[in-house]
């Protein structure tokens, strides 16, 4: 496949950046509830990181993201119809399509996703490549995919059992439950329309417009609340290995890491109320908010991540693990069993034949190895519902996951006990 070399190269860019527990852990250390051993390891890693981390810096010319001229806002036409422009559950991708950083129809190739997410947000090439590759495999035709639903730009091709459904049709494959602002599919019947009460809940966490900053110290507890809301309200809530443990944290960390406006005063970014509303296509004031489908915008005078401080896979995994250290339930694969408040977790030892266990999941690189190897082991069953021959997509996925895990010296996981998921009605589509 013509993208393979570029993708492998992109993954390799950040292998040297892997550290045990770098930057983002600082944001959680003061509040985290951990056992003594984990806390000691964390404090040591933070101290080491603080000694070596370079100043992020700010270069206005290099970091400016235009929303003018060729990149002026252009709303979607006939949004989310097969013949129209596609917009979906990811506000950042929607904004990119509205400003011409992705094709306006909302269907893009792997390379277009890699280039666009770097140009607009400063996403690392390794992370952009893996997410784009994953989307092409599970939501598209192996070369391109829709940021919303089905589109005439991604017709069924030889080997596909049906029309590619895009990210809006990828529940339990790419998209999952407990989103910041989007609904749980089996609770609301869709997974991409903003639920205003959820946006209001998030917005209210920083009520003072003059000082508001929706950083990870705000968004991580909000994620914990949303997780519990899904457990309490959705009898089919399911926290999958990849969709829940990996994609769900991205839905929260990406908000601050990418949408926060960088400046000399706030080189790590400040995400104020108006910027949040712009990226989420929300207007009005609390109690009178209005969401306009597909109208996500890049704000005026907005700046992306610093050059050299791209949000890479190691950086993302650091955020993921730091949040899990604060809220261990984030690593719980499982779900409700048909009634609310019936969340049951799958024992990692039972699932993996003892290769991983709950007592050591947060030690070293175990959690990272666990998440991505589970995703690989589960993929064939998912793909058999999409493709007549899973050989090529599995080769692509295995290549991508191998590059992600290359620095981590993971124990080998040969197989998993998929029968563990039979008790979860909300797991439909995943196993």
pLDDT, tens digit, 9 for 90 and up, residues 22-36: 344 434 433 343 344
Please state, in angstroms and rounded to a whole number, the distance separating the CA atoms of residues 139 and 393: 12
Percent of the chain with pLDDT over 90: 71
Residue 428 pLDDT? 83
> What pLDDT digit, counting tens, does each position of 21-75 carry?
334 443 443 334 334 444 555 555 544 444 444 568 899 999 999 999 999 999 9
Residue 375 C-beta-side C-alpha neighbours within 13 Å: 29
Cross-strand bridge partners of residue 387:
160
Residue 161 pLDDT? 65
CATH of the domain at 371: 1.10.489.10
Tokens for 273?
Answer: 């109320």
Residue 40 pLDDT? 59
Percent of the chain with pLDDT over 70: 85
Mean per-residue pLDDT, 117-132: 96
End-to-end CA distance of the chain: 27
Higher pLDDT, 2 or 367: 367
**What sign has the CA pseudo-torsion 66, 68, 69, 71?**
positive
Residue 288: alpha-carbon gap to chain centroid: 29
How many domains does the chain fold into?
1
Place of tokens 């069924």: 156
Helix locations, 123-241, DSSP H: 125-139, 185-188, 196-203, 216-233
Within 8 A by CB and 6+ apart from 24, the residues are 216, 253, 315, 318, 319, 322
Residue 382: alpha-carbon gap to chain centroid: 19
Please state, in angstroms and rounded to a whole number, the distance separating the CA atoms of residues 75 and 84: 11
Q: Which residue range forms the structural domain that includes residue 313?
A: 4-427
């Amino acid at each position: 496949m013509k993208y393979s070399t570029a993708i492998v190269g992109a993954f390799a860019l950040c292998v040297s950046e892997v550290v045990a527990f770098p930057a983002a852990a600082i944001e959680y250390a003061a509040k985290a509830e951990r056992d003594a051993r984990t806390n000691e390891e964390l404090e040591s890693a933070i101290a080491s990181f603080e000694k070596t981390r370079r100043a992020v810096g700010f270069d206005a010319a290099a970091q400016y993201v235009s929303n003018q001229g060729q990149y002026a806002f252009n709303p979607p036409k006939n949004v989310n119809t097969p013949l129209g422009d596609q917009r979906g559950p990811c506000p950042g991708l929607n904004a990119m399509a509205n400003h011409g950083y992705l094709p306006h129809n909302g269907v893009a190739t792997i390379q277009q996703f890699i280039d666009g997410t770097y140009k607009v947000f400063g996403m690392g090439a390794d992370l952009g490549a893996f997410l784009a590759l994953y989307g092409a495999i599970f939501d598209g035709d192996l070369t391109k995919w829709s940021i919303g639903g089905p589109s005439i730009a991604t017709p069924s091709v030889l080997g596909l059992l049906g029309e590619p459904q895009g990210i809006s049709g990828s529940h339990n494959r790419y998209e999952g439950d407990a989103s910041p602002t989007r609904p749980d599919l089996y609770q609301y019947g869709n997974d991409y329309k903003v639920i205003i009460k959820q946006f209001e809940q998030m917005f209210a966490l920083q009520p003072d417009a003059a000082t508001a900053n929706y950083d990870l110290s705000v968004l991580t507890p909000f994620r914990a609340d949303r997780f519990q809301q899904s457990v309490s309200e959705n009898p089919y809530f399911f926290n999958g290995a990849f969709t829940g443990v990996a994609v769900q944290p991205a839905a929260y960390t990406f908000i601050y890491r990418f949408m926060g406006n960088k400046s000399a005063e706030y080189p790590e970014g400040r995400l104020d109320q108006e910027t949040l509303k712009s990226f989420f296509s929300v207007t009005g004031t609390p109690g009178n908010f209005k969401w306009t489908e597909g109208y996500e915008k890049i704000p005026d005078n907005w700046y992306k991540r610093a050059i050299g401080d791209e949000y890479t896979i190691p950086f993302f995994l650091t955020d993921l693990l730091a949040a899990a250290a604060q809220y261990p339930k984030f690593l719980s694969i499982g779900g409700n069993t048909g009634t609310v408040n019936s969340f049951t977790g799958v024992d990692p030892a039972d699932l993996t034949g003892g290769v991983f266990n709950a007592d050591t999941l947060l030690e070293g690189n175990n959690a990272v190895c666990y998440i991505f190897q589970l995703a690989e082991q589960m993929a064939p069953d998912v793909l058999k519902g999409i493709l007549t021959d899973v050989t090529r997509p599995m080769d692509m996925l295995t290549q991508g996951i191998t590059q992600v895990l290359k620095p981590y010296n993971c124990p080998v996981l040969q197989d998993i006990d998929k029968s563990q998921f039979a008790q979860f009605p909300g797991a439909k589509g995943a196993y």
